Amino acid sequence: MKDHLEKAFKRNLNKAEQGNVEAQFILGLMYRCGNGVQQNYVLAYKWFYIAKLNGHKAALEESHILTEKMVMAEIEEAERLAWDWRNDVVNV
């Protein structure tokens, strides 16, 4: 099962980096729950935030729920990571 989740993570990361909004959302879920990766709320919020900026409706609610488990510094870091990622994608 672990191997399957790791493969799913890699597949979704590749898709997310190509702009697939659903894959961006799924990465948020994987990081939030620790499925296929180590649980990381900052990276979960980053991917939810990116998906939210790209119009994914459920990402808005998921990011809101996640903020209740995070401190402001973590949220700010996640948003900075999301903007850095977007800027890197635009400048490629």
CB 62 within 8 A of CB 45: no
Contact predicate 76/47, CB 8 Å? no
Residue 91 — pLDDT band, cuts 50, 70, 90? low
Q: What is the pLDDT of residues 44-62, one digit of tens each?
A: 999 999 999 999 999 999 9
**Global confidence as pTM:** 0.91
Does residue 92 register a pLDDT over 80? Answer: no
